[in-house]
């Protein structure tokens, strides 16, 4: 597969590795960006790989909560520009989609798009809005939270980050603090038992490759890997993270002290994992001149 300059540029932005190393990694991975990034991590060269999930797309996070405050629906609706995301019609559409996701209880995104809304459907209303605002937009994802008789706690960072926490015990202040912590610290799951095994296996594979390059004895390598896995688990699990308002205490201990337990949470941030198209106006003008 031909390795293009844009592919090299994207891998460099994801990993922070030099251009030549990126080109070599892409060549060895036959153009597979994810595999190339993973291989660079194994070599210990991609210290900035976490940049891969940077926020790029525009849009809003919509939220609808039932009257009891025990069930919520959270949705992400994307636009091409922040200008359109601030338009009243776009804001109203996002709110309506969230309410539809709550009331209609769709089983997946396709079902949500087909669901009735404002006399037609979510999808039909989307097409009408595109025609009105002159910009592409789409409902990217949604999720329902709660419904088990426990109160929900919500934190909003503008309209770009929304967190919903289902918690047993504790009080409203603790619930909001936990939601705020999740917004800032981005845990993947609540407890270590909730971590998908494939995620752990992937990280162990990477840590193992990095440790073996050190040339240390096998027994030392095992200790290194175990230590890194333990650190990784604490980094991605809510209960293992230092509490943002008091880093001397971990969230798990804070919950125990308040006889509380987080049952579930959802954190949505606009554009997570979506790369925004970078416009190269000089290249665009040059291309138009060539055509002429």
Query: Residue 52: pLDDT above 50?
Result: no
Yes or no: is domain 55-149 CATH 3.10.180.10? Answer: no
pLDDT value for 270? 92
Q: What percent of the chain has pLDDT over 90?
A: 48
Question: pLDDT tens-digit profile of 213-236?
Answer: 777 777 787 888 888 888 888 888
Count CB atoms within 10 A of the CB of residue 207.
21
Bridge partner list, 72 = 65, 145
Element (H, E) at 143: strand 137-146
Q: What is the DSSP letter of 278?
A: P
* pLDDT, mean over the chain: 84
What digits encode the pLDDT tens for the residues 257-277? 999 999 999 999 998 866 555
Query: Which H helix or E strand runs over 116?
Result: strand 116-117
Residue 47: the pLDDT is 35
Which strand (E) or helix (H) includes residue 117?
A: strand 116-117
pLDDT at residue 159, as a whole number: 83
What confidence score (pLDDT) does residue 184 get? 94
* Share above pLDDT 70 across residues of the chain, in percent, rounded to a whole number: 86
Residue spans per domain, the chain: 1-54, 55-149
pLDDT for residue 46: 36
- Quick check: 137 pLDDT over 70? yes
**Three-class DSSP category at 275:** coil
pLDDT-based confidence at residue 288 (cuts at 50, 70, 90): very low
- Residue 282: pLDDT band (50, 70, 90) is low
Helices and strands in the chain: count of H runs, count of E runs? 12, 10
Rounded Cα distance, 147 and 69, in Å: 9
Cβ neighbours of residue 40 under 8 Å, at least 6 residues apart? 11, 15, 17, 21, 22, 25, 46, 49
Q: Which residues contact 206 (CB under 8 A, 6 or more apart)?
A: 38, 41, 42
Mean pLDDT of 165-170: 96
Higher pLDDT, 34 or 42: 34
Quote the pTM value: 0.71
CATH topology for the 1-54 domain: Helicase, Ruva Protein; domain 3 (1.10.8)
> How confident is the model at residue 277, as a pLDDT?
53
- What's the pLDDT at 272? 83
How many residues belong to the chain? 292
Band (200; pLDDT cuts 50, 70, 90): confident
Average pLDDT over residues 120-146: 87
What does the pLDDT read at residue 49? 36
pLDDT, position 60: 95
Q: How confident is the model at residue 286 (pLDDT cuts 50, 70, 90)?
A: low
CB count, 10 Å around CB of 261? Answer: 17
pLDDT at 179 over 90: yes
Mean pLDDT is highest, among 122-126, 168-172, 274-278, 288-292, for: 168-172
Rounded CA separation 8/18 (Å): 9
Measured distance CA(175)–CA(164) in Å, rounded: 9
Give residue-wise pLDDT tens across range 66-103.
999 999 999 999 988 888 899 999 999 999 999 999 99
At 23 the pLDDT is 86
User: What's the mean pLDDT in 171-180?
Assistant: 96
């Amino acid at each position: 597969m031909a390795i293009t300059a844009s592919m090299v540029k994207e891998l460099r932005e994801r990993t922070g590795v030099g251009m030549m190393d990126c080109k070599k990694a892409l060549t060895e991975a036959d153009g597979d960006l994810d595999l190339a990034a993973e291989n660079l991590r194994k070599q210990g060269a991609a210290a900035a790989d976490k940049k891969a999930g940077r926020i790029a797309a525009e849009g809003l996070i919509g939220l609808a909560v039932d009257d009891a405050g025990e069930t919520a629906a959270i949705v992400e609706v994307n636009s091409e520009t922040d200008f359109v995301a601030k338009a009243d019609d776009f804001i109203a559409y996002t709110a309506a989609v969230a309410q539809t996701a709550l009331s209609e209880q769709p089983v997946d995104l396709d079902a949500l798009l087909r669901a009735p809304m404002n006399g037609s459907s979510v999808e039909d209303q989307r097409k009408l809005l595109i025609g009105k605002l002159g910009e592409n937009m789409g409902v990217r994802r949604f999720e329902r939270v709660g419904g088990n008789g426990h109160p929900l706690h919500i934190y909003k960072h503008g309209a770009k980050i929304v967190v919903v926490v289902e918690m047993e015990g504790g009080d409203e202040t603790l619930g909001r603090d936990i939601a705020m912590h999740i917004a800032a610290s981005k845990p993947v799951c609540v407890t270590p038992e909730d971590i998908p095994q494939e995620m752990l296996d992937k990280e162990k594979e990477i840590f193992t490759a990095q440790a073996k390059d050190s040339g240390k004895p096998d027994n030392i390598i095992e200790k290194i890997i175990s230590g890194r896995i333990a650190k990784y688990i604490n980094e991605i699990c809510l209960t293992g993270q230092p509490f943002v308002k008091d880093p001397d205490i971990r969230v798990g201990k804070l919950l125990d002290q308040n006889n509380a337990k987080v049952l579930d949470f959802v954190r949505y941030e606009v554009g997570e994992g979506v790369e925004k198209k970078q416009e190269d106006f000089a290249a665009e003008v040059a291309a138009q001149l060539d055509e002429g």
